[in-house]
Amino acid sequence: MKKTLALLLACISIATSSHAQAKYKSYQDSIAAEAAKLEVWTNVPEVVAGNFINDAPSDAIILYNGKDFSAFHGRDGKKIGWKIDPDGALTDVKGAGDLITNQSFGDCQLHVEFRTPANVKGAGQSRGNSGVYLMGLYEIQVLDSYKNPTYSNGQAAAVYKQHIPLVNASREPGNWQAYDIIFKAPLFKEDGSLTSPATVTLLHNGVLVQNNVKLLGPTDWVTKPVYKKHPATLPLFFQDHGDDGNPISYRNIWIRPL
């Protein structure tokens, strides 16, 4: 009798947990379906080969020079989990957390070099995904977009889900690439309404890919952009996208507040 009861209870518990799993899966699917509505798969940018100069100007603030990550901190007091490779590359580790600058910035010129893994794993958004989040809110997508179809407004050098790059200047995975970003922060009135939107000009490997585009608000996977008043300067961060076996690396990061 005892055995029957135990068996019955086990069956109920399995049924309950599989019901909860199914419910969670359908919840995840509904979010993914919402997020897919913001994807644009047309206007695929033409492929262009570029080049870049990586020397920092004399007045630049060096955020990363291959030696330490003293310019950054982890989110919510979490220790930085990124590692510094023998060649000086700052490499993401799954679950390492976002890399947030200690200093806050608004208008700026930002130089960032990144490398997606030579050993290609995954596809689409799961291939070397990271991001440069200006003011922690506005993402310039970092992705391996070399022969890697995904939605055009989510490929490398896109202002995520807002502006498709003019061309695709991505290099083969395993090569260093550069973004040179000129960013103007949004301005707000006292009452919180927008005076002028944020703008971005972006050179990808020396090629102009975003030409003074106006941002519609903070970038997001699911939510449509809506501006909300924020301070004139905020920390920027580099995204830990959390993909398995796709460690993005950064080097030579410098910024000039404008």
Nearest residue (CB) to Mg ion, 86 versus 95: 95
Nearest residue (CB) to Mg ion, 13 versus 223: 223
Assign 33 to helix, strand or coil: helix
* Residue 160 beta carbon to Mg ion: minimum distance, rounded to whole angstroms: 6
Rounded to whole angstroms, the Cα distance separating 156 from 141 reads 5
Nearest residue (CB) to Mg ion, 150 versus 252: 150
User: Tokens for 48?
Assistant: 């262009």
By CB under 5 A, which span of 15-23, 130-138, 190-198, 208-216 interacts with Mg ion?
130-138
Nearest residue (CB) to Mg ion, 242 versus 257: 242
Residue of this chain nearest to Mg ion (CB atom):
131
* Residue 98 beta carbon to Mg ion: minimum distance, rounded to whole angstroms: 11
Rounded to whole angstroms, the Cα distance separating 72 from 235 reads 9
Instruction: Classify burial at 118, counting beta carbons within 10 Å of its beta carbon; exposed 0-12, middle 13-18, buried 19 or more.
Output: exposed
* Residue 179 beta carbon to Mg ion: minimum distance, rounded to whole angstroms: 13
What is the identity of the amino acid at 47?
V
* Residue 5 beta carbon to Mg ion: minimum distance, rounded to whole angstroms: 51
User: Tokens for 146?
Assistant: 């070399």
Rg (CA), the chain: 21
β-pair type (199-204, 249-257): unpaired
Rounded to whole angstroms, the Cα distance separating 57 from 63 reads 13
Residue from 128, 131, 186, 247 in contact with Mg ion (CB under 5 A): 131
* Residue 100 beta carbon to Mg ion: minimum distance, rounded to whole angstroms: 15
Rounded to whole angstroms, the Cα distance separating 90 from 101 reads 14
Rounded to whole angstroms, the Cα distance separating 154 from 132 reads 13
Nearest residue (CB) to Mg ion, 241 versus 256: 241
Residue 214 and residue 199 in contact, taking contact as beta carbons nearer than 8 Å: yes
**Residue keyed to tokens 């997508």:** 141
User: Tokens for 253?
Assistant: 């990061």
Q: How far apart are the first and last CA of the chain?
A: 78
Nearest residue (CB) to Mg ion, 50 versus 242: 242
* Residue 82 beta carbon to Mg ion: minimum distance, rounded to whole angstroms: 16
By CB under 5 A, which span of 85-93, 99-107, 131-139, 249-257 interacts with Mg ion?
131-139
Rounded to whole angstroms, the Cα distance separating 81 from 19 reads 35
Nearest residue (CB) to Mg ion, 126 versus 205: 126
User: Which residues from 90-129 bind Mg ion, rule CB under 5 A?
Assistant: 129
**Count of residues that interact with Mg ion, criterion CB under 5 A:** 2
* Residue 131 beta carbon to Mg ion: minimum distance, rounded to whole angstroms: 3
Binding residues vs Mg ion (CB under 5 A): 129, 131
